[in-house]
Amino acid sequence: MEACLKAFRSTGGSSNPTLQLPSPCDTIAAGYQCLPSLSHHWGQYSPYFLVPSLITPTLPTQCTLTFAQVLSRHGARDPTSSKSIAYSHMIAKIKDYVTRYEGDYEFLEDYVYSLGADQLTAFGEQEMVNSGIDFYERYQALANASVPFIRASGQQRVIESAEKFGQGFIHAKVAAGGTRDAYNVVTISEARGSNNTLDHGLCTNFESSNTSFVAQNTYTSTFIPSITTRLNDNLLCANLTDADTISFMDLCPYETVADPLGTISPFCALFTQSEWENYDYYQTLGKYYGFGPGNPLGPTQGVGFVNELIARLTSAPVRDHTSVNQTLDANSTTFPLGRSIYADFGHDNDMTAVFAAMGLYNNTPPLSTTELMTVEEMKGYSAAWTVPFAARAVFEKLQCEDAAEEMVRVLVNGRVLPLDQCGGDTLGRCTLSAFVSSLSFAQDGGHWDRCFTSTSNDGTPET
């Protein structure tokens, strides 16, 4: 230990200035806007923020909304149980071996790891209340005559997110002079073997695939080792590994959303903007190669929900042989048709699979595992832009004076997608029939037949 102290030298933690929070910086309309150069690059751990859109999200003139379906991720949460244990052990190791803390690292001397596991934080609860208010305000014409039919996947944080959304929706409706309507949340079990379109788990070969691990592990070597060296130079004798460095970066968003106001954590100042951009790309690779087009069976995990969406858009019974819960969907109480507003709540991974099953990001080129790609190069695809905490995708149906048929638009976190796969116009609209036709991958069951055959580790059938 004495040798470690003699060798101690301070290299500084970051080129960032001291971080200050303009409180509050999480709003109903724009989401989290505190230090966006950092916080909008935290991958799926970014708090929800309004994503820039090349197509105006404003309702096109001469169009009337007839239908709105939101698919939402739960609000900000504590780390998962396994990660919370890993973070706690890492901090304990630092406390055991490091005796001097200087510069941006001084806060660690008094830092105590106290994050929970798996549950919504107070900040995450407010995100969902805000989401319900925002949904009501955008779709007030529909909402005044109804309440959303709400479903939630069966994990507690998802159920609570649905309830908080409902509270926000009703609060906004009453504030606008409407009635305090009752609403219920239909819960779909996440028990092992349960059919659930909002939570994967049935496709055996998919569950054992390792494509995301391989992709992320490859990219880690391009940017993490130099950060690990810097951390060890400043936390002498900690002997942090590259995996520890990623955990260190994770603590920035997790500690931020653990604060009720979303106060930026001191962990965030230990890394540069460039490093956060690499971190965001690292997380994006995990989604793309884990549940998106980079995994041969990733899009198939979203097929069930897409077929439910088709049923709601067309007021026709669900046709699916994959993950749909046939008992629930055959019952008009637990899966009603003919409603104008719906709200479903689940997880980031499953939303990623749904987007892939729909082909919403078909213009995104294959993601490099060795070189950073910008969100522009990825055609608007990134974990932070698609599945942050409290992410929301809205599927709108419109009746427009310039079209004989109803039209469909899709907004992901406020960004109107171009819908090139179904001939989207300059306003991001496709005809309903063209939109449904473009979903043939889901209607054909995706690659569900490959879920239970002999495969290689990447999910492709063995020959």
Residues that are catalytic? 74
State how far the Cα of 418 lies from the Cα of 427, in Å rounded to an integer.
Answer: 8
Listing DSSP states for 368-382 in one string gives PSSS---TTTTTT--
Q: Are 123 and 260 in contact (CB under 8 A)?
A: yes
Using DSSP's 3-state secondary structure scheme, residue 167 falls into helix
Placement of tokens 């970014």 in the chain: 46
Q: Are 154 and 201 in contact (CB under 8 A)?
A: no
State how far the Cα of 443 lies from the Cα of 445, in Å rounded to an integer.
Answer: 5
Placement of tokens 């926000």 in the chain: 168
State how far the Cα of 103 lies from the Cα of 233, in Å rounded to an integer.
Answer: 12
And the tokens for 335? 């899966």
Amino acid occupying residue 251: L
Where do runs of H (alpha helix) occur along 181-210? 204-207
Closest Cα to residue 181, out of 190, 193, 173? 173
For 21, list phi and psi in degrees, rounded to 5. Answer: -100, 120
Task: Count other C-beta atoms under 10 Å from residue 120's C-beta.
Answer: 25
For 392, list phi and psi in degrees, rounded to 5. Answer: -145, 130
State how far the Cα of 105 lies from the Cα of 103, in Å rounded to an integer.
Answer: 5
State how far the Cα of 276 lies from the Cα of 41, in Å rounded to an integer.
Answer: 6
